[in-house]
Chains A and B, each alone.
Chain A
Amino acid sequence: MAEEAVKIEKKSGSFFIDKVKEILPAGGNLNACLTCGLCASGCPATGLRDMDPRKFLRMAALGMDEEIKKSEWVWMCSMCTRCMYACPMQINIPQLVFNARKLTPREERPKGILASCDMAMKNPTLSAMGTTQEDFEFVVQDILDEVREEQPEWEERDLQAPMDKQGAYFFLNQNSREPMVEPEEMVPLWKILNIVGADWTYGSTGWAGENYCLFLADDPAWEKHTRGTLGKADELGCKVFLNTE
């Protein structure tokens, strides 16, 4: 049995999809959909909240801005880009979803993502868990001392976890979960860097890799996060930014 047809009211003014087209290269090809369904058939979020990427794009194309604004599905698409990769027309659905997240007022976006972004913005470390510079420096030093003491081979090999080393070649970031929850997980990476003779450093600020402001679709905060971490790498004169996140 056919479902009831969607009736589109005649609206004036500019639609959400038009605004997104303006900011994407080639308009994200958002007008080029063939409705083939390749995107939907290979999307892990298909079916959640009775939504899928083709349907979402169609709704946007039909100007159903209110429905899009109300749909929680924008938080259930991980913006993985598989749909776009599979799409014969290279339609940028993930960007459409990203921008649709902005239709919800900032303070009403999912609490966990919001709190993580706010926390990162409060601290020069950019840690979503609120880890301070002092905490990070302490944990890194503490774990390093422990390894050098308990595994004498690494005392001999002079294992290091440099902090703010001026002129180091690599700048390494770190997810806050490690220093805070499972600090011993940082050690294998230090060992590998030692074995290959890499010249690297952590930054005492700007080291936290998790960027929840991006997921929150808060552009200014996202930019602040990114500039904060890259700025630290620049300040130290590092040549390569190693993103472990």
Chain B
Amino acid sequence: MRKTFGDRAADNLRFVIESCVGKENFIDTFPNKSNNFCCGGGGGYLQSGYKEERLQYGKIKDAQIQATGATYVIAGCHNCHAQLHELGEHYGAHYHVVHIWTVICLALGVLAPSERTYLGPELQEVNLPKTEEDDE
């Protein structure tokens, strides 16, 4: 966001997320948008071999997420996803890390059980797509 599209794109994404989960269920990190901290999954970090440093780098991100108290955090890309997931485990946090398309499909009622790998147990049954058995 900070690097390319700026706060406008960050706001657009917040609009999408709030539309999916409800305004009252979206908790922003602080700081956020262009002032936000990088998680440390980018720049080649994941393949650089500097794991200890990478986890140290991400400490501030993990603390930011934990401070929101949110149970789900939406990652911007695959590198973020991998890094946030590892940060959560390393620092003993309790948030799940998901992609935005998972949240959109969940809200639309089209997310199949096989596509819920990163959702916690409490969301496994929520808004499941209709099956033929339901219609009978």
Contacts and interface: CB of A to CB of B under 8 A. Distances in A.
The prevalent SS among residues of A at the interface is: helix
B60 A44 contact: yes
A178 to B, nearest CB: 8
Interface string B100-113: 01101100101110
B42 A79 contact: yes
By size class, the interface of chain A is: 35 or more
B50 A215 contact: no
Given A152-B132, A189-B101, A72 B50 contact: yes
Interface string B40-56: 11111111111001101
Contacts of A151: 112, 129
Contacts, number: 120
B23 interface: no
Given A47-B56, A112-B48, A113-B48, 16 more contacts: A44-B60, A44-B61, A48-B56, A48-B57, A76-B45, A78-B38, A78-B41, A80-B3, A81-B2, A82-B35, A110-B50, A113-B44, A184-B115, A187-B112, A187-B115, A215-B44
12 contacts: A44-B59, A48-B57, A49-B53, A78-B43, A78-B45, A82-B35, A110-B48, A112-B46, A112-B48, A116-B47, A188-B110, A191-B110
Interface of B: 2-3, 34-38, 40-50, 53-54, 56-61, 77-78, 82, 99, 101-102, 104-105, 108, 110-112, 114-115, 117, 129-130, 132
Q: Which 4 A-B pairs have the closest CB atoms?
A: A215-B44, A80-B38, A112-B47, A78-B43
